[in-house]
């Protein structure tokens, strides 16, 4: 905390300042000729050498700026800056020519291009914000998302998978490996009734929420022009977890008989989360922080007639 005092009035204020390792703007950008300016001799300038290029010492926030302004106002000429009385003395502010802006002492606004650039950089640093540079693939994925994402009558977002057409055409059959892994999962569940119940509850909830639907086992999917994809799934058990002890994993990275997986055929978009460094910096700015988990939508219609009796009646299939 720093106490800022005026040399000309009784004004005083306590302020907190950020100390920057480097801040290079110079105001004005070049020396001004003020010999013809008719500044009254009774005016006490806050910065008597305002016409000489000099580094900025302190930037005062707008929260106290208007408290500094007093009633005095003098207009020198239509092509010259104005004089404004403040608690720190009189300041000079305004355009001195078509290319040079003149601002002295506590003036907060400036049209000097270099200063604006430096100030923008300063606030970017203070806000802990960084701009991501997207690759060509990430830009295409972003564009695809913007062009295909819609909302239905219930307000839900409908998102299409951003596929790579050339890779998707190489997607082979995954039925055999998915079936083998499913039978292995089934044996594991039958050996652990508690785990089987948790897995069954998860599958039922997914269908109730509309995240998946049952298919007709008698349907001739091979007659379709679209190659069906059988997605293996398994569970990860974390007994020490206080929230989700069972997590079901749908393995879209499992390769088909051509060596290409569904994930291989999908475009990869940019990372939407902030990097950890920015999160930690932002975490320290406030006194309190709230940490929470987001849960899946629970407002979907229930499809009770399509419930499987157990995980053995279900095998994820996606066309």
Reply yes or no on whether the pLDDT at 22 is more than 80. no
Instruction: Give the confidence band of 228 by pLDDT, cuts at 50, 70, 90.
Output: confident
Reply yes or no on whether the pLDDT at 83 is more than 80. yes
**Strands, E assignment, the chain:** 2-5, 12-15, 26-27, 54-55, 69-75, 82-86, 89-95, 101-103, 150-151, 157-158, 229-230, 233-237, 246-250, 317-318
d(CA 29, CA 206): 65
Q: Give the start-to-end residue ranges of the domains of the chain.
A: 2-126, 168-318
Are 296 and 209 a contacting pair, CB within 8 Å? yes
Are 247 and 233 a contacting pair, CB within 8 Å? no
Reply yes or no on whether the pLDDT at 128 is more than 50. yes
**DSSP type of residue 139:** H
Reply yes or no on whether the pLDDT at 135 is more than 90. no
- Average of pLDDT values for 93-97? 70
Tokens standing for residue 147: 């062009």
pLDDT of residue 186: 93
d(CA 227, CA 166): 14
Bigger pLDDT: 196 or 311?
196
Angle at 36 between CA 33 and CA 41, to 5 degrees: 105
Instruction: Give the confidence band of 118 by pLDDT, cuts at 50, 70, 90.
Output: low
d(CA 129, CA 274): 9
Angle at 125 between CA 268 and CA 142, to 5 degrees: 20
Reply yes or no on whether the pLDDT at 197 is more than 80. yes
């Amino acid at each position: 905390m720093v106490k800022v005092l005026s040399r000309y009035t009784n004004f005083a204020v306590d302020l907190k300042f950020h100390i920057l390792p480097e801040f290079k703007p110079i105001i004005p950008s070049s020396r001004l000729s003020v010999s013809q300016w008719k500044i009254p001799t009774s005016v006490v300038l806050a910065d008597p050498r305002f016409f000489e290029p000099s580094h900025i010492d302190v930037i005062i926030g707008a929260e106290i700026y208007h408290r500094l302004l007093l009633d005095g106002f003098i207009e020198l000429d239509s092509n010259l800056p104005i004089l404004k009385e403040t608690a720190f003395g009189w300041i000079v502010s305004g355009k001195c020519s078509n290319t040079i802006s003149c601002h002295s002492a506590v003036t907060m606004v400036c049209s000097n291009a270099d200063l604006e650039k430096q100030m923008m950089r300063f606030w970017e640093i203070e806000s802990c914000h960084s701009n991501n540079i997207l690759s060509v693939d990430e830009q295409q994925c972003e564009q695809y998302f913007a062009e295909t994402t819609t909302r239905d009558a219930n307000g839900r977002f409908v998102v299409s998978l951003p596929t790579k057409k050339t890779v998707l055409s190489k997607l082979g059959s995954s039925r055999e490996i998915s079936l083998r892994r499913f039978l292995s999962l089934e044996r594991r569940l039958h050996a652990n009734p508690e785990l089987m119940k948790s897995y069954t509850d998860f599958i039922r909830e997914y269908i109730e929420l509309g995240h998946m639907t049952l298919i007709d086992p008698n349907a001739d999917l091979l007659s379709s022009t679209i190659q069906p994809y059988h997605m293996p799934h398994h569970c990860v058990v974390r007994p020490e977890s206080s929230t989700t002890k069972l997590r079901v994993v749908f393995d879209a990275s499992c390769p088909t008989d051509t060596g290409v997986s569904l994930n291989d055929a999908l475009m990869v978009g940019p990372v939407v989360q902030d990097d950890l460094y920015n999160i930690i910096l932002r975490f320290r700015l406030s006194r309190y922080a709230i940490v929470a988990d987001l849960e899946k939508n629970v407002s979907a219609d229930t499809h009770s007639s399509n419930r499987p009796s157990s995980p053995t009646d279900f095998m994820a299939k996606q066309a």
